[in-house]
A = this chain, B = another copy of it.
Amino acid sequence: MRTLYHFALSAPSRAIRIALAEKGLEAQLKVEKVWERRPEFLGMSPSGEVPVLVEPDGTTLTDGSVIAEYLDEVYADPPLIGADPLSRAETRRLACWFGQKFAREVTDNLVGEKLMKRFLALGEPDSQAIRAGKANIHYHLEYIAYLAETRNWLAGDGLTLADITAAAHLSVVDYLGDVPWADHPKAKDWYSRIKCRPSVRPLLEDRIATAPPPPHYTDLDF
């Protein structure tokens, strides 16, 4: 059986959960509290981060972007990165945009400060970082709106890792109620489309006991 080590509000783990489901690949989910730095887990993941995917033959893969590339090479149908070098470059550019730039400018400032710092016992949330995250998210939503208006999905005609990465990050920020959807109706339209895919529904059911999501979080008509 395939096993994915993850935790509920890890955006890169969510992206791999979506990618696996889009490809019709089943995986047993194991919650890994990375902040406990479990030796057996560090043996699989030198960086100590999730997601980690263990394939049925024991092959162990780390890092969200690396796992996504591997899955697309080994389980090619449906392709989630693109059919030719140029469309793959555009998908990867946007997957980097959301997986690194959005992560640094938005996710880390909001989910990192409000939730992860508590789990990691790193002290009080930094209110300046939270303000920065709430300001930065607007131009990313504008960029999503621009891309989704110009194309069918973010990187072109079909759903790709670009949409999956963006949706994974937005879904964890949305869990906190920090996505200003009302100001960005076109980005909201794009998110509605991805939110109702069967690959995305299960991860919206995850709950953190001490921090429930806002009421609109799982609504398809939000």
Contact = CB atoms under 8 A, between A and B. Distances in A.
Contact of A89 (B66, B96, B100): B66
A66 B86 CA distance: 10
Interface residues of A, number: 24
Interface string A18-38: 000000000000000000000
Copies in the assembly, this chain: 2
A210 interface: no
A89 B65 contact: no
Contacts of A86: 59, 70
A101 B63 CA distance: 11
B73 A92 contact: no
Given A59-B86, A86-B59, A100-B100, A93 B66 contact: yes
A56 interface: no
Contacts of A96: 63, 65-66
Nearest to A95: B66
Given A97-B47, A101-B47, A65 B92 contact: yes
Counting from the closest, the 9 A-B pairs by CB-CB distance are A66-B92, A73-B85, A70-B89, A66-B93, A63-B96, A74-B85, A66-B89, A70-B85, A63-B93
Given A63-B92, A66-B92, 20 more contacts: A46-B97, A46-B143, A47-B97, A47-B101, A61-B89, A61-B93, A62-B93, A63-B93, A63-B96, A65-B65, A65-B92, A65-B96, A66-B93, A66-B96, A67-B89, A69-B88, A69-B92, A70-B85, A73-B85, A73-B88
